[in-house]
Amino acid sequence: MTAHRWVMEQPGSPLVRVEFDPPRPLPNEVVVEIAGCGVCHTDLGFFYDGVRTRHPLPLTLGHEMSGRVIETGEDAARWQDRTVVIPAVITCGSCDLCDRGRGTICRNQKSPGIDMHGGFATHITVPSAGLCEIDTTRLAEVGMQLADASVIADAVTTPYQAVVQAEIEAGDLAVVIGVGGVGGYAVQIAAAKGATVVAIDIDQVKLSQLEGYGASMTLNAREVQGRDVRDAIRDFAKKNDLRQTEWKIFECSGTAAGQTAAFGLLTYGSCLSVVGFTMDKVEVRLSNLMAFHARALGNWGCLPEHYPDALELVLRGDVSMLPFIERHPLSQINEIFAKAHDGQLARRAILVPDTL
């Protein structure tokens, strides 16, 4: 089998194309021919910002993958020729944490592109546990190709789990800060679950696009800042007979400014979900959580058992992906990384192996 992957030898140095033989699948493993792999903010953190991977370099990045199973190990034969999304966080499924539904903190979990070679490649060998099968006929009905579904593995499922954890329901007011790859889907998912959504970002193009995809109000953080943001949301809530309490706040920007702004929006009974990641530190008054009887939640990836429900939102058309993604040849990975890092991409990039 001819296979190749793009390897990071040193952070910031050009990724290098390397040929390899995909490992034969062990029991409960499969080999997947990759259809597409999304470029995530996390990949850029590893490449540009010195965020450490748990696997020593050289390493192939990429954790948003879809593809077709072409070979199976013992006890995984049922996956042969199935089209799948590979979880960005693969849990062991058998430890005490997994048994208690706490798989996102499973100490035996593995993430492609972090703990093992990832998806910027033609093939990958992964555990079969947690694979999410895709009906490509239904996918085509919403105009999508198999490669497009790769983004479900993180940018859709991660905010889906955050929305589930925050217990979004009809009548809620949700505030999403940072509406890029993950935050844009947080807006759509929260709206699909019945919330009225306020979207906040510094990019007016992204905000304007979301006005037709779940955002009932948008605020440009370059123009409205500090207490004025809270006042604007309060006025919006009052005019629309929405609650002044219990706001569901999702910090998806992965910036210190975004996290500070999110904490500043806490009100009585609020739930603050930290979805984005940054190495920067912020200074906040934790006593606000006590005074407002509020909650703050972290969100690491998404439990594989949530993937089918998140996928169903896409297949039903409740969450639209096509306006927010674009495909590029995998051979252009260095160029695409540079453009993504410089903010030159209007949509989330999906890298497709040139041979497919």
User: pLDDT digit string (tens) for 192-220?
Assistant: 999 999 999 999 999 999 999 999 999 99
- Looking at the predicted structure, is the pLDDT value of residue 338 above 90? yes
CA–CA dist 32, 71 (Å, integer): 7
Joined together, the tokens standing for residue 195 give 């919330």
- Based on the number of CB atoms within 10 Å of its own CB, is 331 exposed (0-12), middle (13-18) or buried (19 or more)? middle
- If one counts every other C-beta atom within 10 angstroms of the C-beta of residue 109, the result is 22
pLDDT score recorded for residue 51: 87
**152-207, pLDDT tens digit by residue?**
999 999 999 999 999 999 999 999 999 998 999 999 999 999 999 999 999 999 99
- Looking at the predicted structure, is the pLDDT value of residue 50 above 90? no
Q: What is the CA radius of gyration of the chain?
A: 20
**Structural domains present in the chain:** 3-154+302-352 (3.90.180.10), 157-298 (3.40.50.720)
Joined together, the tokens standing for residue 6 give 């793009």
- Of 45-54, 229-238, 247-256, give the lowest mean pLDDT range: 45-54
**83-100, pLDDT tens digit by residue?**
999 999 999 999 999 999
Kindly report each contact of residues 94-101 with a partner whose C-beta sits within 8 Å and lies 24 or more positions away, as own/partner: 101/303
In this prediction the pTM is 0.95
* E-strand stretches of 264-353: 271-274, 295-298, 325-329, 348-352
- Looking at the predicted structure, is the pLDDT value of residue 355 above 80? no
pLDDT score recorded for residue 356: 53
Region 265-273: what's the mean pLDDT? 98
Q: What letter represents residue 140's amino acid?
A: A
| Residue where the block lists tokens 């999906």 | 350
Joined together, the tokens standing for residue 247 give 């706001």
| Residue where the block lists tokens 């051979």 | 331
